[in-house]
Structure 1
């Protein structure tokens, strides 16, 4: 009898929902993933708590928190808890506490001390969000705070507001009392007005979970080390939520990034102050692995604010999509990493409109620029993108390349991926980079035509003695011969440039319903007026502007 594998689903996973529902299947998959991480989790429990192997295995299975735990961060959180004299047994009983970020635990414990707590226990940290919303009277009643402690004075002192007139009474919660003190601090130290304070809390409400010590130290560093003025700090108020220890380590560990002084870089992009030094180190390593040059990083330093894994995944996507692959050597390629979700949505939209030339500038540009590009219907690649691609592959200056390619009337009407495909094809056929550069226009023509003419030249008896460079000259000659040397040979057929008849309004309606489209949702008739982009050959010849360009 043939063996039959049985899948046993635990009873607690079975509910009124079908056992094969997505929710149940996801839980089963999670268990499969846990088996992959089981050894690491068990080893982590053994090292952290001193468990035996059997006890660590049972513990790791019992608490699902360990499936997604970052061992490095959990170890830092454990060390912080031990520094607060919290027994290991308490941590073992509440393992969920280790899922909190170390910085969060540190700030929460500091806030409790600043509010008059004489010691911080596991219960205080585990129920922190509940405790800070309780009134001062309640906390004294529960004996979390000594009855004779002046909590209001303690909070004001933590913000260095000893002479402040802010009134904090026992009916206030700790959270509200700290907010009053922080408002006074912002007005006194950074010259916030009432309107700016309201705007600050609207945008950065999470700062209430930052200790006074952290906020004061962060302001001191950005003023003394980075030279920020009060006005600059007000316009970048998110800095108050930053971790001063992160910023100190960044200044120490990375004196220069991409050839630029770290002080200059942080002044240029203050958001990098919020990133952990470990994340910056990993991101720089990933960029190096993908051969991203320092020049590209300096043109788009905001990529450092993304998570390292996000950067790596997006760079891999760039290599897998042919429309993006040709832009990997572009100096501004990191803009596609930073705005990849928007770029993918725009690329999909342009493909629906039968556009072939999706340049990096258009995919990552502002909404107004993208709308203008689609309204005009000019399917062209940005000249800078083409020049940058050719200059990189042929090791020439951009000025030199631009002077040459400007001679061809249709050089901007070719997608980058076509040029890259042709360049790779010609090099694979044994042509040197220097040979190809002498016929650089050839990479703008359809690959099928190049292959056809190459085969013809190699098989023709009269061309047998031609050198490789002469073969390229003949290929270019025979391609353009079919088009009377007008430059129109760059198109596979004449309608590729003008576009096949497209119902622009219907396409816009379908694609604008997608949440990922970032270029702005307006009334379709306003953004894409109902008209045809199809133009006859005669209309094209009669176009005065085009004739001027051709001359």
Structure 2
């Protein structure tokens, strides 16, 4: 019997493992066939030629349709026909942007009759052979002064400068000569020291193979168009290899974000200069789609350093989390989106500690501030700014925050109530009472909904049956306005607690957890998942 069970388990395991292998093979086959069709489409070759190309070069197999299309487009832009990809398939292992830069670098260096073979053997040409050897081989014209040709790619040389590189240039490689010119140029333009230059190349090695004209144009845009301070460019070395075309799109097409001129924003947050124009535009559209105000954007321009997909996913998730949804229209709401992982981690941890009075600053503020809140006894909202904002937002911003604060502050435990509960109670009350009625009785938002509902049902029942409340025989409830009715409900809520304010706590545990706690528990489970 045991042997039979073991054999059955082994059989199932083999079936499962075989099934997974078959699934992977089918998936791989489908991808391979799609790649084959794309090669035929974009290279205008037969299926047998495309299959041979895939067998001969593994890198060709890894390309999808978009990558093949972009590669062919780049090759054509550089002046080569599409069939060079078939004749020189190793070009498929090079990114289109790298091909463009290699072509421009070799063009600046005066390489004659530039071909795809030159692009493929780029590293060998510029690093292994000296300029003298390249001239002897006929790769570069022996009559060309390479030093001057490369220097002419830069436009901001001082007129008094006569010599850039000391020694025999023909004994240098194109790689070392280019580095010397870049270093000399940055020394004169940005006052960069040799140590700073070496450190910059170590951190951003792609600068070594950047076309000199591109570096020159980038610096020109940063200094003349954006008015970026020299010290800021030095301290943010990555700016030197920013794409000038992308920066032009940002400056002249995007123009502004959050209602602020994009030039001023880039001066404050240089990282945005190297972000893709399309990404910045997508993020701005996503923020507008979710109704994020310009003020909120100006408080957290760092949100534009994330990907559009990440921003959209986090905003969608924020709508499903009550604690985040409460701050949806807060000027500093985007901080919680930018530091989403930190905010979620803190939220989970504070749930475990049974701390529900969470302010925006606690969830997304500094570690020091969070630790003070975490270690502090009790559960409170700090200065109560977020509570006042929450009530003001719920009331449609029709009343000043100072007036709301004065009214709600009358309650002794006004900063000990979770914002989620306040929002929940308002939503329930707003179905029967106007914002003005609720504003006149702001402290009622601090009470658990189950208590408010019970008292409200009692008052409504007395009104409907035309029977006076106990001990209030001479009170005609039908003549009360909604504001007065709400005041009566608030009075009855506190009557049994001798108007001490303790009516905000639930009787069972003496804590500020009402029926909305069910939402909190469900939310906690969602966070864990």
Length-normalised TM-score, structure 1: 0.73
1:444 matched to 2:458? no
Would the alpha carbon gap of residues 235 and 99 (structure 1) be closer, same or farther in structure 2, given more than 3 Å must change?
same
Structure 1 residue aligned with 2:393: 392
Counterpart in the other structure of 1:488: 502
Stretch of structure 1 that moved more, 237-246 or 199-208: 199-208
Unpaired stretches in structure 1, ≥5 consecutive residues:
1-16, 499-551
Q: Match of 2:13?
A: none
* Equivalence for 1:477: 491
Unaligned runs of at least 5 residues, structure 2: 1-15, 470-476, 514-529
Deviates more, 1:339-348 or 1:160-169: 160-169
CA offset digits 1:255-282 (Å, max 9, x no partner): 3332222222222222221122211221
How many angstroms does 1:467 deviate by?
4.2
| CA displacement, residues 172-204 of structure 1 (integer Å, 9 cap, x when unaligned) | 665454333322222111001234324423443
Match in the other structure for 1:9:
none
CA 1:85–1:470 in 2, change beyond 3 Å: closer, same or farther?
same
Q: Which residue of 2 aligns with 1:462?
A: 468
Structure 1 pair 423–158 and aligned structure 2 pair: CA distance change class (3 A): same
Which has more radius of gyration? Answer: 2
* Residue pairs, 1:194-233, within 5 angstroms: 194-233=194-233
Residue 326 of structure 1: how far off its partner (Å):
1.5
- Other structure's SS at 2:415 match: coil
**Distance change >3 Å, CA 472–CA 256, structure 1 → 2:** same
Query: Are the counterparts in 2 of residues 387 and 398 from structure 1 also a CA contact under 8 Å?
Result: yes
3-state SS of the aligned residue for 2:368? helix
TM-fit CA distance, 1:298: 1.3
Structure 1 residues 134 and 57 mapped into 2: Cα distance closer, same or farther (>3 Å)?
closer
**SS at 2:499's partner residue?**
coil
Give the corresponding residue for 1:293. 293
Instruction: Tell me by how many angstroms 1:81 deviates.
Output: 1.8
> Would you say how many aligned residue pairs link Structure 1 and Structure 2?
474
Alignment partner of 1:410 is 2:413: yes
2:423 is aligned with 1:420: yes
Q: Please report how far the alpha carbon of residue 218 of structure 1 lies from its aligned counterpart in structure 2 after TM superposition.
A: 1.0
- Contact 1:107 / 1:214 at 8 angstroms: preserved in 2? no
Instruction: State whether structure 2 residue 455 is matched by structure 1 residue 453.
Output: yes
Deviations 1:408-459 (A, max 9, x none): 33222222222222222223x3332232222222223223333333333333
For the Cα contact (< 8 Å) 2:504–2:512, is it kept in 1? no
Return the offset for 1:341: 1.5
Is the contact made by 1:152 and 1:168 (CA closer than 8 Å) also made in structure 2? no
1:106 and 2:107 aligned: no
Q: Deviations over 1:189-222 (max 9, x none)?
A: 1001234324423443332342221111111111
Q: Give 3-state SS (helix, strand or coil) of 1:247's partner.
A: helix
Provide the rounded CA distance (Å) in 2 between the counterparts of 1:26 and 1:346: 40
For the residues of structure 2 that align with 1:192 and 1:110, how far apart are their CA atoms?
Answer: 25
Query: TM-score of the superposition, structure 2-length normalised?
Result: 0.75
1:119 deviation in Å? 4.7
Check 1:459–1:222 CA distance in 2 against 1; reply closer, same or farther (3 A cut).
same
Question: How big is the shift at 1:474?
Answer: 3.2
- Tell me by how many angstroms 1:319 deviates: 1.3
Question: Which residue is equivalent to 1:81?
Answer: 75
- Matches of 1:33 and 1:397 in 2, distance apart? 63
